[in-house]
Amino acid sequence: MKIPSSQITPERMYLRRRELMLGIAGLAAGAAMPAAAGPAAVMPVRLIERLAYSRNARYSTTETATSFADATSYNNFYEFGTGKGDPAEQAHRLRPRPWSVAVDGECEAPGRLTLEDLLKPHPLEERIYRLRCVEAWSMVIPWIGFPLGELLRRFQPTSRAKYVEFTTLLDPRQMPGQRYPVLDWPYVEGLRIDEAMHPLALIAVGLYGETLPNQNGAPLRLVVPWKYGFKSCKSIVRIHFTERQPLTSWARSAPREYGFYANVNPAVDHPRWSQKRERRIGSGSLLSRQPTLPFNGYATEVAALYRGMDLARFF
């Protein structure tokens, strides 16, 4: 029996600020960190590997970035728990090396590639993107990765590939949140093929100059900055080209609340709260809000993808 989403997605009225403690996990095995010294401390998973990249100013916002501490301790990653602090506390269990991704479906060159093979042809770049979550909070994060479209073209999708489906790792030993029926595991998300090929859609492998921490979706996650954060599938193990619209995890669990498109639209309220304003994590009072921008501020780049669509119906 599923837990109603009304019980698992409340907006927190306070930010759980934690003192980050530096730890080193072996890249080859993603080794677990030692236990924290006290009950209030969190030992976040952090793979200390600096990444070589160039800044892509064209697609970067000039807004002040959220602090590393906030971005890595206040997360939605239900595979590790439904609390915002749960991922930082539990994600040490995840082993992000070695890693491979299966690519199949409507494509001419399907296969399974290691993370290293996936990265070889793609120079990394930093893009400072806004992240807007459906619970009406937001961040600004310097992601490091490469355009999703470059990866997808490598597998030669056919003309029948209308959508791209992404699947997260299923392993309750590493992801203890999967032991509970919060969602139908594994986590599945999807994009229309033209959305996936848009140059803003990013495959992220790092943030703040370093390898992705586990709680942020290591080692490979999707970032679609004009959509709500739940579209950003984390710890991806499968990419599937399909002719039919995927039945995504949140659309399956709560179809009235989480539509397939998930475009940031302040004119369409969530059934349980308004989307007109948002709280920027780490900036000012916990009660302060700022106006939510259509398409999260990326309307100039992406609005044409939805010309003629009823964005209240296709939410």
Residue 94 is predicted with a pLDDT of: 98
Q: How many helices (H) and strands (E) does the chain have?
A: 7, 13
Q: 92-127: per-residue pLDDT in tens?
A: 999 999 999 999 999 999 999 999 999 999 999 999
- Parallel/antiparallel/unpaired status of strands 290-291 and 277-280: antiparallel
Mean pLDDT of 269-277: 94
Q: Which domains does the chain possess? A: 5-305 (3.90.420.10)
What letter would DSSP give residue 71?
Answer: H
Contact 104, 37 (CB under 8 A): no
Residue 43 is predicted with a pLDDT of: 46
| 49: nearest Cα among 97, 101, 17, 94 | 97
φ, ψ of residue 263 in degrees (nearest 5): -70, 140
Residue 28 is predicted with a pLDDT of: 33
Please classify residue 66 by burial: count the beta carbons closer than 10 Å to its beta carbon, then call 0-12 exposed, 13-18 middle and 19+ buried.
buried
Residue 48 is predicted with a pLDDT of: 61
φ, ψ of residue 5 in degrees (nearest 5): -60, -25
Mean pLDDT of 234-254: 97
Q: Work out the percent of the chain whose per-residue pLDDT is above 70.
A: 84
Residue 49 is predicted with a pLDDT of: 84
Q: In what helix (H) or strand (E) does residue 148 lie, and over which residues does it extend?
A: helix 148-153
Mean pLDDT of 205-213: 96
Model pTM score: 0.85
Average pLDDT, the chain: 87
Q: 8-53: per-residue pLDDT in tens?
A: 433 332 233 332 332 323 333 333 333 333 333 444 555 568 999 9
